[in-house]
Amino acid sequence: MGILEKFKLDGKNTFVTGGARGIGKSIATAYLEAGANVAIVDLDIAEARNAADELKGIGPKVIAIETDVTDQAQVENMVAEVVSAFGELNVAVNNAGICVNAKADEMTFEQWKKVMAINADGVFLCCQAAGRQMIRQGKGGSIINTASMSAHIVNIPQPQCAYNASKAAVIQLSKSLAVEWVAHNVRVNSLSPGYIGTDLIMNAPHLKALIAEWEPQIPMRRLGRPEELQAICVYLASDCSPYTTGSDFVIDGAFTCV
């Protein structure tokens, strides 16, 4: 099999949490284009269905599933629904996440818990459910968890200690699961994007001033684009990466280099 053939995702069945918009939707699009079946998983089922309708015809099959990633029963039901629709699960992308910008001395415990529940607990629950399914199937699989460059550095000027801590947890969780599940050929890696100019960020009036401060800090002097994360996600899902597990991939325009 040649290198281009190895990048194809024909016959692979995937889900992407937080897949209704932004980075998640971009990854879902790439997987469909590469030949995979895709379940767009999101708490906002209306947006998930809109995304699925928009992407129909790009790849073999796309469905939308409503899921609260902090609810274990819903996560387990989601994986069961993916398997029912596609036959098995081969690739899981755990991308759902939130950020709360609040000073540490002013942040409420509820704010802290909400960020941790979605960004850390949610990733664990989705990894656990996906990993169990892949182990049962006996064919291995690939799990990709969205972390952040904020796991490596402290962003300024915005205060976001809960987000930073939660994303650092995602990286170490991914490494731990990679080691635990290596005997089952279930690979687990994380992706650490820098500032990505999703529609939500670029169209938010309250972020314009922050973007003006962020861009000079980035050596490339611009925010990334969601589609610039597609290639690494296809690589990690594909047969090109059988020896790649326990790694974190920083895609940030060299932000963390300086």
pLDDT (tens digit per residue) in 30-54: 999 999 999 999 999 999 999 999 9
Sign, CA dihedral 131-177-37-240, equals negative
Report yes or no on 120 lying in a domain. yes
Q: State yes or no: pLDDT of 204 exceeds 90.
A: no
47 Cβ contact list (under 8 Å, min separation 6): 20, 21
pLDDT band at 200 (very low <50, low <70, confident <90, very high): confident
DSSP structure string for 85-109: HHSS--EEEE---------TTT--H
- Residue 221 forms part of a structural domain: yes
Q: Which amino acid is at 78?
A: M
- Active site (annotated) includes residue 148: yes
Q: Which of 31, 142, 163, 174 is catalytic?
A: 163
Confidence of residue 206 (pLDDT cuts 50, 70, 90): confident
Is 31 a known active-site residue? no
Give the CATH number, domain containing residue 207: 3.40.50.720
What's the whole-number mean pLDDT along residues 239-258? 97
For residue range 65-110, what is the model confidence (pLDDT) as tens digits? Answer: 999 999 999 999 999 999 999 999 999 999 999 999 999 999 999 9
Nearest CA to 106 out of 166, 162, 155 is that of 162
Residue 224 belongs to a domain: yes
Host domain of residue 230: 6-246
Annotated catalytic residue, options 148, 150, 192, 238 = 148
Residue 159 belongs to some domain of the structure: yes
Selection from 165, 225, 216 nearest residue 193 by Cα: 225
Q: Which of 150, 166, 167, 238 is catalytic?
A: 167
Q: Is residue 92 part of a domain?
A: yes
Name the pTM for this structure: 0.97
- With respect to residue 39, please indicate whether it lies within any of the assigned structural domains: yes
Let me know if 139 is a catalytic residue.
Answer: no
In a domain, 220, yes or no: yes
For the chain, the domain total comes to 1
The answer as to whether 255 is a domain residue is no
Give the side-chain half-sphere CA count within 13 A for 105: 0
